[in-house]
Amino acid sequence: MKAGGEVHVIGAGLAGLSAAVRLAEAGKCVTVYEAAPNAGGRCRSFYDKRLDRIIDNGNHLLLSGNFSVMHYLDTIGAENELKGPIRAEFPFVDIGDNLFWTVRPDRGAIPWSVFKAERRVPGTSISDYFSVWRLFRASPLNTVSDCLATEGAMWHHFWRPIIVSALNTNPASASATLLWNMLRETFGKGEAACRPLIAKHGLSQSFVDPALAYLSGKGCKVRFNQRIREISSVGYNVTAIEATETVKIGKKDAVILAVPPVPAEQLVPELLVPNAFQTIVNGHFRILGELPETNLIGIIGGTAEWLFVRGDIVSVTISAASKFSGKSEIEIADSMWADIRLVFGIDISRRGPCRIIKEKRATFEQTPEQVARRPTTMMGRANMFLAGDWTNTGLPATLEGAVRSGIAAANCALNHMEMSEAS
Which positions of the chain have pLDDT values less than 50?
Answer: 1
Look at residue 23 in the predicted model and tell me its pLDDT.
98
Look at residue 80 in the predicted model and tell me its pLDDT.
95
Structural domain containing residue 180: 104-194
* Predicted model pTM: 0.94
Residues 19, 132, single domain; the answer is: no
Q: What DSSP assignment string belongs to 8-67?
A: EEE--BHHHHHHHHHHHHTT-EEEEE-SSSSSBTTS-EEEETTTTEEEESS---EETT-H
Look at residue 350 in the predicted model and tell me its pLDDT.
67
Helix (H, G, I), strand (E, B) or coil at 297: strand
56 part of a folded domain = no
Look at residue 348 in the predicted model and tell me its pLDDT.
60
Do 321 and 278 touch, CB atoms closer than 8 A?
Answer: yes
Looking at the structure of the chain, the number of domains it has is 3
Q: Which residues of 175-210 are buried (b: 16+ CB within 10 A; e: fewer)?
A: bbbbbbbbbebbbbbbbebbbbbbbeebbbbbbbbb
408 CB neighbour count, 10 Å cutoff: 24
Look at residue 349 in the predicted model and tell me its pLDDT.
59
Residues 167, 39, single domain; the answer is: no
Please list the alpha-helical segments (H only) found in 51-149.
67-75, 126-130, 133-136, 144-147
Residues 355, 307, single domain; the answer is: yes
Query: What is the DSSP secondary structure assignment for residue 107, as one 8-state letter?
Result: S
311 part of a folded domain = yes
Look at residue 113 in the predicted model and tell me its pLDDT.
87
Residues 111, 172, single domain; the answer is: yes
What's 281's domain CATH number?
A: 3.30.9.10
Residues 360, 372, single domain; the answer is: no
Do 374 and 229 touch, CB atoms closer than 8 A?
Answer: no
70 part of a folded domain = no
162 part of a folded domain = yes
Residues 154, 230, single domain; the answer is: no
Look at residue 288 in the predicted model and tell me its pLDDT.
81
Look at residue 3 in the predicted model and tell me its pLDDT.
58
At which of 176, 194, 212 does a domain end?
A: 194
Query: What is the DSSP secondary structure assignment for residue 126, as one 8-state letter?
Result: H
What's 374's domain CATH number?
A: 3.50.50.60
The rounded distance, in Å, linking the Cα atoms of 368 and 178 is 9
Residues 300, 271, single domain; the answer is: no
Do 31 and 19 touch, CB atoms closer than 8 A?
Answer: no
Torsion of CA 202, 208, 214, 220, to 10 degrees: -160
Residues 162, 213, single domain; the answer is: no
At which of 194, 224, 245 does a domain end?
A: 194
51 part of a folded domain = no
Strands (E), 267-415: 277-287, 296-300, 306-310, 313-318, 351-364, 384-386
Q: Which of 384, 403, 35 is nearest to 208 (CA)?
A: 403
Q: What DSSP assignment string belongs to 153-217?
A: HHIIIIIHHHHHHHH-S-GGGSBHHHHHHHHHHTGGG-GGG--EEEESS-HIIIIIHHHHHHHHH
The rounded distance, in Å, linking the Cα atoms of 67 and 87 is 17
Interior CA angle at 284 toward 281 and 287, to 5°? 150
Residues 255, 213, single domain; the answer is: yes
Residues 188, 215, single domain; the answer is: no
Do 399 and 62 touch, CB atoms closer than 8 A?
Answer: yes
Look at residue 357 in the predicted model and tell me its pLDDT.
95
334 part of a folded domain = yes
Look at residue 351 in the predicted model and tell me its pLDDT.
74
Angle separating helix axes 399-422 and 67-75, nearest 10 degrees: 70
At which of 314, 331, 364 does a domain end?
A: 364
34 CB neighbour count, 10 Å cutoff: 25
Residues 264, 393, single domain; the answer is: yes
The rounded distance, in Å, linking the Cα atoms of 416 and 423 is 11
Look at residue 1 in the predicted model and tell me its pLDDT.
45
Q: Which of 58, 20, 81 is nearest to 397 (CA)?
A: 58
Residues 119, 153, single domain; the answer is: yes
